[in-house]
């Protein structure tokens, strides 16, 4: 293969698409994950930094013999799409920071791409047609206008010289940066990017909605090098502003408008009635548990289930004045008495064994009126979906951050007699491919 052939892909077959090879391709559809689909000699290329309808020169970045696809970066745009804009960040692009996939896309177009990716996942993976259910654009969250300066929690990797930066896409390589345009200014004003972090492997900058920003350096296995400070977050709920005090490294929505947006969307979808029995699964620090408890009133019952012990403690503190709420510190599958599962994986993690069935937790009721679940990225899985369906709730509200996992869970709910009645996508992570979804399922025979 000549250098000229290697550079422009002249006469190359699909088998010649090795790492470093460049080939001119026509870009087809957008796919969830921040890349678009292109083809060369029958082989699929997943190409980043491009848009549907463009013609680009793509450089192969990963190629595995025998696989039907390769990964690539668009290193030159030969014909631009009208939605293409100048990147807002100098560290975004081929070979640079891997955090933002869509810096080159106009904001409204980003939201259309995300909605289309959700619809495609629901159809291809879940076998569900969501035409008429899903808006053509992902909805912006409260307060978002530019898609920049929204990230209130950013973890910067630290290189062997103590310099903070961000990792390149699918790489351990650290790109030193002196700004991150999606991170809020108060987090950067801590001086996180100016300090020498020798001895740390990463440092997290947190700008809570109440109080001063904090920095948390971490070492091996993500262990904090100092005592982790606690921060306060305030959220507008139908009953007024509510506050949570959580560990700075505990899970919380990173977009400042996302908590209130999700609370509103979930309450609307759940349509909880006074006196209802509600389960809030994977409840974290109780962001949704508290407004759900306020909706049921003291004549109702709410059970929250969460595996992370510190989050359960934080939820207990936030819900101290709501005695009709019970919190279960457990994995959801184990609380249902199921064997431990890893829903998104074809095989167990190496060195990890799955436990056998356990006794169902005493606090889990035999029935429920409403179930809300916000599982981790891999989704709930068929076994947990079946256990939820066995409770015969009239409504299930599924909050999801991965369209593929949501599609798998949605198919499982439909197989168990539920209908997908509503689906909303929220642009809670502008400039990235990530999207937050709220799906509503109604029991087909519910009155």
> Last residue of a domain, which of 205, 228, 251?
228
> Considering the domain boundaries, does residue 430 fall inside one?
yes
Nearest-CA neighbor of 381 among 362, 404, 358, 353? 404
More confident residue, 7 or 110: 110
* Percentage of residues in the chain having pLDDT higher than 70: 94
> Last residue of a domain, which of 44, 68, 84?
84
> Last residue of a domain, which of 182, 206, 228?
228
Which tens digit of pLDDT belongs to each residue from 199-227?
999 999 999 999 999 999 999 999 999 99
Instruction: Give yes or no: residues 296 and 372 share one domain.
Output: yes
Which tens digit of pLDDT belongs to each residue from 267-325?
999 999 999 999 999 999 999 999 999 999 999 999 999 999 999 999 999 999 999 99
Residue listed under structure tokens 């013609």 = 55
> Considering the domain boundaries, does residue 106 fall inside one?
no
> Considering the domain boundaries, does residue 243 fall inside one?
yes
Q: By residue range, what is the domain housing residue 159?
A: 153-228
Output the pTM of the full model.
0.93
Instruction: Give yes or no: residues 220 and 241 share one domain.
Output: no
Among 210-224, 242-256, 335-349, 421-435, the range scoring the smallest mean pLDDT is 335-349
* Separation between Cα atoms, residue 387 and residue 194, nearest integer Å: 50
Confidence at residue 355, expressed as pLDDT on a 0 to 100 scale? 57
353 Cβ neighbours under 8 A, 6+ residues apart: none
> Considering the domain boundaries, does residue 54 fall inside one?
yes
What is the CATH classification number for the domain harbouring 298?
Answer: 3.40.50.150
Confidence at residue 385, expressed as pLDDT on a 0 to 100 scale? 98
Instruction: Give yes or no: residues 237 and 224 share one domain.
Output: no
Residue-wise DSSP of 224-246: BSSPPPEEEEEEEETTEEEEEEE
The set of catalytic residues is 401
Query: Which of the four pLDDT bands, split at 50, 70 and 90, describes residue 356?
Result: low
Mean pLDDT taken over the chain: 94
Instruction: Give yes or no: residues 61 and 157 share one domain.
Output: no
Confidence at residue 352, expressed as pLDDT on a 0 to 100 scale? 42
Query: Which of the four pLDDT bands, split at 50, 70 and 90, describes residue 354?
Result: low
Instruction: Give yes or no: residues 242 and 184 share one domain.
Output: no
* Percentage of residues in the chain having pLDDT higher than 90: 90
> Considering the domain boundaries, does residue 119 fall inside one?
no
Instruction: Give yes or no: residues 327 and 403 share one domain.
Output: yes
> Considering the domain boundaries, does residue 95 fall inside one?
no
> Considering the domain boundaries, does residue 109 fall inside one?
no
Instruction: Give yes or no: residues 218 and 265 share one domain.
Output: no
Instruction: Give yes or no: residues 308 and 395 share one domain.
Output: yes
Which tens digit of pLDDT belongs to each residue from 16-45?
999 999 999 999 999 999 999 999 999 999
> Considering the domain boundaries, does residue 280 fall inside one?
yes
Instruction: Give yes or no: residues 393 and 378 share one domain.
Output: yes
Instruction: Give yes or no: residues 268 and 296 share one domain.
Output: yes
371 Cβ neighbours under 8 A, 6+ residues apart: 278, 279, 281, 388, 391, 393, 395, 396, 397
Instruction: Give yes or no: residues 217 and 315 share one domain.
Output: no
DSSP 209: S
Confidence at residue 26, expressed as pLDDT on a 0 to 100 scale? 98
What is the CATH classification number for the domain harbouring 58?
Answer: 2.40.50.140
Q: How many folded domains does the chain comprise?
A: 3
Instruction: Give yes or no: residues 219 and 241 share one domain.
Output: no
Which tens digit of pLDDT belongs to each residue from 136-191?
999 999 999 899 999 999 999 999 999 999 999 999 999 999 999 999 999 999 99
């Amino acid at each position: 293969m000549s250098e000229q052939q290697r550079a422009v892909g002249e006469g190359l077959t699909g088998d010649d698409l090795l790492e470093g090879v460049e080939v001119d391709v026509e870009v087809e559809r957008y796919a969830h994950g921040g890349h678009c689909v292109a083809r060369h000699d029958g082989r699929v290329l997943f190409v980043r930094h491009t848009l549907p309808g463009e013609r680009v020169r793509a450089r192969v970045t990963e190629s595995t013999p025998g696989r039907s696809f390769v990964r690539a970066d668009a290193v030159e745009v030969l014909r631009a799409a009208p939605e293409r804009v100048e990147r807002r960040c100098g560290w975004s692009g081929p070979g640079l920071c891997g955090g933002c996939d869509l810096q080159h896309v106009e904001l409204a177009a980003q939201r259309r791409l995300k909605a289309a990716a959700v619809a495609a996942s629901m159809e291809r993976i879940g076998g569900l047609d969501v035409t008429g259910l899903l808006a053509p654009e992902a909805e912006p969250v409260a307060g978002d206008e530019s898609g920049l300066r929204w990230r209130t929690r950013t973890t910067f990797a630290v290189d062997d010289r103590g310099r903070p930066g961000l990792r390149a896409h699918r790489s351990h390589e650290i790109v030193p940066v002196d700004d991150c345009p999606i991170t809020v200014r108060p987090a950067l004003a801590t001086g996180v990017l100016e300090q020498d972090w020798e001895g740390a492997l990463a440092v997290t900058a947190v700008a809570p909605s109440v109080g001063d920003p904090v920095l948390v350096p971490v070492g091996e296995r993500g262990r904090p090098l100092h005592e982790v400070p606690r921060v306060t977050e305030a959220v507008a709920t139908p009953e007024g502003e509510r506050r949570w005090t959580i560990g700075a490294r505990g899970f919380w929505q990173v977009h400042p408008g996302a908590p209130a947006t999700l609370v509103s969307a979930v309450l609307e979808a759940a349509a909880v009635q006074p006196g209802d029995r509600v389960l809030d699964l994977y409840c974290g620090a109780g962001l949704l548990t508290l407004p759900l408890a306020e909706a049921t009133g003291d004549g109702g019952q709410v059970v929250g289930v969460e595996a992370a012990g510190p989050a359960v403690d934080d939820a207990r503190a936030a819900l101290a004045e709501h005695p009709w709420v019970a919190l279960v510190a457990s994995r959801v599958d184990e609380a249902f008495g199921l064997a431990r599962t890893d829903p998104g994986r074809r095989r167990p993690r190496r060195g990890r064994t799955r436990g056998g069935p356990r006794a169902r937790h005493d606090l889990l009721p035999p029935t429920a009126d409403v179930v809300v679940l916000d599982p981790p990225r891999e989704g709930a899985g068929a076994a947990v979906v079946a256990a939820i369906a066995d409770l015969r709730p009239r409504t299930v509200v599924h909050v999801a951050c991965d369209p593929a996992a949501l599609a798998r869970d949605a198919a499982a709910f439909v197989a168990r007699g539920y209908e997908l009645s509503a689906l909303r996508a929220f642009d809670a992570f502008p400039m990235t491919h990530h999207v937050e979804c709220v799906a509503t399922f109604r029991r087909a025979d519910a009155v």
